[in-house]
């Protein structure tokens, strides 16, 4: 017996938007999880993927623990120790350490969307990583529904 076809859900186009964030320190991990979650909820995408991209060469984006704010501060201080601000870099603008930190953490990530919400782990959050602040920045989101 052939299965009856399921009614197709209305296909939604990918949604593109830009989040505006402001950082408070030169090195600052800013939890943007609530902003991204709101964008996914507003998109109406039930199953798909959320791409997060930071269009800056001295910033980045990571997923890490958001339940304890000390974790973000520990990551900030660890990156400061690994790649210190040092006047001996060749780049003349004085922010070579910020470029190196951005290269280490990366500028994009993708999170699955399941049942209309980000499929993050229990303690996971999305952090904008500022390495040359404080300043206003942009985070680009592309929320893409699964193909039907």
pLDDT, residue 87, reads: 76
List the chain domain ranges: 15-145
What CA–CA distance (Å, rounded) separates 78 from 6?
A: 52
Q: Can you name the CATH fold of 15-145? A: Jelly Rolls (2.60.120)
Per-residue pLDDT band for 53 (boundaries 50, 70, 90) equals very high
Residue 145: CB atoms within 10 A of its CB come to: 20
Q: In the chain, pLDDT over 90 holds for what percent of residues?
A: 83
What CA–CA distance (Å, rounded) separates 55 from 142?
A: 13
Per-residue pLDDT band for 29 (boundaries 50, 70, 90) equals very high
Torsion of CA 50, 55, 60, 63, to 10 degrees: 0
Whether residue 132 has pLDDT greater than 70:
yes
Per-residue pLDDT band for 143 (boundaries 50, 70, 90) equals very high
Look up the pTM and report it: 0.90
Per-residue pLDDT band for 81 (boundaries 50, 70, 90) equals very high
Whether residue 100 has pLDDT greater than 80:
yes
Whether residue 1 has pLDDT greater than 60:
no
Average pLDDT, the chain: 93
């Amino acid at each position: 017996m052939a299965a009856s076809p399921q009614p197709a859900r209305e296909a939604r186009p990918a949604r593109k938007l830009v989040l505006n964030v402001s950082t408070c320190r030169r090195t600052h991990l800013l939890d943007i999880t609530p902003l991204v979650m709101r964008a996914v909820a507003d998109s109406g995408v039930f199953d798909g993927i959320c791409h997060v991209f930071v269009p800056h060469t001295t910033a980045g984006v990571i997923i890490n623990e958001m339940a304890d704010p000390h974790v973000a501060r520990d990551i900030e201080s660890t990156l400061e120790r690994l790649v210190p601000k040092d006047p001996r870099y060749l780049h003349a603008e004085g922010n070579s350490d910020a470029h190196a930190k951005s290269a280490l953490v990366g500028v994009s990530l993708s999170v699955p969307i399941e049942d209309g919400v980000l499929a993050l782990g229990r303690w996971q959050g999305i952090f904008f990583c500022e390495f040359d602040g404080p300043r206003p920045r942009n985070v680009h989101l592309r929320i893409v529904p699964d193909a039907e």
